[in-house]
Amino acid sequence: MIKNNKHINEDHLMAYLAKEADVQLKQQVEHWLSLSNDNVAYLNELEKIWIESGKLKIKPVVVDIDSAWNKLSNKIDAADKKVININSREKGISKIYRTFLRIAAVLVIVFGILAIIIYMNKGTEQQTLISQNTVVNETLSDGSKISLNKNSKIVYPDEFTGNTREVELEGEAFFEIEPNKEKPFIIHSENANIKVLGTSFNIKAFTDSKEVEVFVKTGVVMLFSIDKKTNDTISIILNVDEKGIYNKETKQIKKIEDIDVNELYWHNKTLIFEETELLKVIELLQNCFNVKIKVKNSNVNYCKLNATFKNETIDDILGVIATSFNLEVTKEENKIYTLDGKGC
Amino acid sequence: MKTYWNLKEQQNIKTINRAEFEVLFRTLYSNLCAYANKYINDVDASEDVVQEVFFKLWNKRESIEITSSIQSYLYRAVRNSSLNLIKHINIREEYKEYNKREIYYNKTNYDDEIFATELEHKIRETIEQIPPERRKIFIMSRYDGLKYREIAEKLNISIKTVENQMGKAIKYMRKNLAEYITVLIIVIMTFINTLFR
């Protein structure tokens, strides 16, 4: 019961509850509330309903049932008409032939639909390329080339529909992206995204590593990360011979300009050494060729090497080093080498 | 006057005629659309899904074997169609949502989900009974989160009309839900009383 104030009705109370009331109305309602406990109780009831109705797990939607029924009804009528037509036409034909026709018609429709589905899905099929112990190369539908290093995986679509070209990378890969200003190429890997217009670069994004690395060979690359919770974006632009590192834990991106030119050995089989100490050379050779190189005399580590190796075997490379510095190379088993000599 | 399909009785779908089918449709359509929408998040697509389910049911009404109630069958069919639809939508965000929802819905028996409490059931039923235009305004305010001004603009009516319709809606709901509300208030009062002992 609403007492003592005929100006306040459910319209006002509802506006008050839905926070649609202006200052003046709020004051009027609150004044009305102060007049009687019954008024307070009444508002509480309305409020309870407002709150409980908001808790519905399945939210009601606005639908026009009449037009929905009309639509369905027409559809049923149309289907019924077809059945009647088919039935009347079949009067003169034998039963077996009729059944055969029906089956044939269904098969044609089924295959037709399958063909359409396959055709329509062709563009949007996702391909997965996985490399285990070898480097795998692939050319994408836009002409971009990917070189997957060992133990890596890339997911990409058959066709790049839409206004971006997007792929997902796990592991390490070298990309040569066909330029297309209208369709930027975006590589997703664990919260770090790389956007390019046309360029070539290397990405290292192994799931068990806490960093994602991008090294640019030609062109310009943007490395960005979007925080899932806050939607903040941090990004850096990388130019030629620059490396960007995204730290998965701190979620920070930093740029490194002093790059070891032998980063891409796995891809181009080229090693360049300029006044490089053998200590570093040996470390690199061990990584690239998966061998162990022991040094008998620690002075050997200080020898500085100037050489370029292209597509050479580890035996040949060590041979050259031995000759350069008057060292002896010995090989035990298949993967263990020893360098011995006076050193530098 | 609307006649409601008697949802409690086990109806025989095999012998249903067009008029009875229409009553079944009108009784459940809105709720089934809301249910599908929970998966699909697109009211138009949800309506298509529900209409398709009813269409198929009509076509195979003579041959179909339904061991549960027609209502359970329809909810199950709508759920399956909705999930199928989502699977084929090649939108990254929708796909993520589907994954979350599928895991969530697989955990629970959906019957419990829909008819969680009698109060919820009663509220939904009451909203269903509000005249269409007024119900539309109420849903836009409560569930679509629109302000009165936005609703007025969208429907090309005055804000005063929106206030008036909302007032009538809440008044009608209070009348229908009176017994549930007083129960809640009594419960709260008792609880408060025991606190002060």
For B121-161, how does the pLDDT look when each residue is reduced to its tens digit (9 = 90+)?
Answer: 788 889 988 998 999 999 999 998 899 999 999 999 999 99
Residues B10 and B78 in one domain: yes
Give whole-number Cα distances, A71 to A166, B2, B47, B52, in Å.
40, 19, 11, 11
Residues of A in contact with B132 (CB under 8 A): 64-65
Q: Search chain B and give the residue with CA nearest A56.
A: B120
Q: How far is B67 from chain A (nearest CA, A)?
A: 25
In a domain, A306, yes or no: yes
Residues A251 and A135 in one domain: yes
SS (H, E, C) chain A: CCCCCCCCCHHHHHHHHCCCCCHHHHHHHHHHHHHCHHHHHHHHHHHHHHHHHHCCCCCCCCCCHHHHHHHHHHHHHHHHHHHHHHHHHHHHCCHHHHHHHHHHHHHHHHHHHHHHHHHHHHCCCEEEEEECCCCEEEECCCCCEEEECCCEEEEEECCCCCCCEEEEEEEEEEEECCCCCCCCEEEEECCEEEEECCCEEEEEECCCCCEEEEEEEECCEEEEEECCCCCCEEEEEECCCCEEEEECCCCCEEEECCCCHHHHHHHHCEEEEEEEEHHHHHHHHHHHHCCEEEECCHHHHHCEEEEEEECCCHHHHHHHHHHHHCCEEEEECCCEEEEECCCC
Residues A148 and A174 in one domain: yes
Residues B73 and B107 in one domain: yes
In a domain, A1, yes or no: no
Residues of B in contact with A9 (CB under 8 A): 167
Q: Search chain A and give the residue with CA nearest B176.
A: A49
**For residues B8 and B73, what is the distance between their CA atoms, to the nearest angstrom?**
14
Inter-chain touch A72–B127, beta carbons under 8 Å = no
End position of a domain, from candidates B69, B100, B116 = B116
Element housing B51 (H / E) = helix B43-59
Nearest to A61 among B43, B177, B185 (CB): B43
Residues B25 and B77 in one domain: yes
Enclosing domain of residue A75? 67-122
Inter-chain touch A48–B135, beta carbons under 8 Å = no
End position of a domain, from candidates A122, A143, A162 = A122
Q: How far is B97 from chain A (nearest CA, A)?
A: 14
Enclosing domain of residue B151? 117-197
What does the block give as tokens for A154? 């890339």
Chain-centre distance for alpha carbon B158: 28
End position of a domain, from candidates B100, B116, B132 = B116
Residues 6+ apart with CB under 8 A from A230: none
Residues 6+ apart with CB under 8 A from A275: A304, A305, A306
Residues B8 and B104 in one domain: yes
Q: Measuring CA to CA, which residue among B101, B53, B102 is closest to residue B77?
A: B53
User: CATH code at B100?
Assistant: 1.10.1740.10
Nearest to B124 among A20, A60, A68 (CB): A60
Inter-chain touch B171–A68, beta carbons under 8 Å = no
Residues B100 and B16 in one domain: yes
Single pTM value for the model: 0.45
Residues A307 and A182 in one domain: no
Residues B64 and B105 in one domain: yes
Q: Measuring CA to CA, which residue among A150, A144, A145, A131 is closest to residue A266?
A: A150
Residues B5 and B91 in one domain: yes
- Chain A interface mutation, best of B112, B163, B183, B189, highest count of A Cβ atoms under 10 Å: B163
Residues A175 and A239 in one domain: yes
User: CATH code at A138?
Assistant: 2.60.120.1440
Residues A192 and A239 in one domain: yes
**For residues A328 and A313, what is the distance between their CA atoms, to the nearest angstrom?**
17
Q: How far is B10 from chain A (nearest CA, A)?
A: 23
Residues A132 and A238 in one domain: yes
DSSP for B73-96, written as a single string: HHHHHHHHHHHHHHHT---HHHHH
Q: What is the pLDDT of residue B10?
A: 55
pLDDT of B8 above 70: no
Q: How far is A2 from chain B (nearest CA, A)?
A: 12
End position of a domain, from candidates A233, A261, A289 = A261
Whether B166 and A50 have beta carbons less than 8 Å apart is answered as no
Stronger pLDDT, B43 or A256, i.e. the higher one:
B43
Residues of chain A predicted below pLDDT 50: 1-4
Inter-chain touch B143–A13, beta carbons under 8 Å = no
Residues A149 and A211 in one domain: yes
Inter-chain touch A60–B29, beta carbons under 8 Å = no
**Overall domain count for chain A:** 4
Residues B74 and B112 in one domain: yes
Q: What is the pLDDT of residue A268?
A: 79
Q: What is the pLDDT of residue A1?
A: 42
Residues of A in contact with B34 (CB under 8 A): 58-61
Residues B2 and B97 in one domain: yes
**Overall domain count for chain B:** 2
Whether A269 and A310 have beta carbons less than 8 Å apart is answered as yes
Q: How far is B60 from chain A (nearest CA, A)?
A: 12
Nearest to A68 among B37, B47, B147 (CB): B47
Residues A148 and A252 in one domain: yes
Q: What is the pLDDT of residue B124?
A: 87
A217-272 per-position pLDDT tens digit? 887 788 887 777 777 778 888 888 888 888 888 888 888 876 676 777 777 788 88
Inter-chain touch A15–B148, beta carbons under 8 Å = yes
- Chain B interface mutation, best of A25, A62, A161, highest count of B Cβ atoms under 10 Å: A62
Q: Search chain B and give the residue with CA nearest A63.
A: B30
Q: How far is B197 from chain A (nearest CA, A)?
A: 23
Q: What is the pLDDT of residue A59?
A: 87
Residues A91 and A173 in one domain: no
B62-121 per-position pLDDT tens digit? 888 887 788 888 999 999 999 888 877 645 555 565 556 555 554 444 444 455 577 787
Residues A17 and A75 in one domain: no
Residues A186 and A97 in one domain: no
Q: Average pLDDT for residues B1-10, to the nearest whole number?
A: 53
Residues A72 and A118 in one domain: yes
A120-150 per-position pLDDT tens digit? 666 567 888 888 888 889 999 888 999 998 8
**Considering Cα of A293, then A295, then A298, then A301, what sign does the dihedral take?**
negative
Q: Model confidence at B6, in pLDDT bands (50, 70, 90)?
A: low
CB pairs under 8 A between A and B: 129
Chain-centre distance for alpha carbon A57: 32
End position of a domain, from candidates B95, B116, B137 = B116
What does the block give as tokens for A301? 């580590």
Residues B105 and B30 in one domain: yes
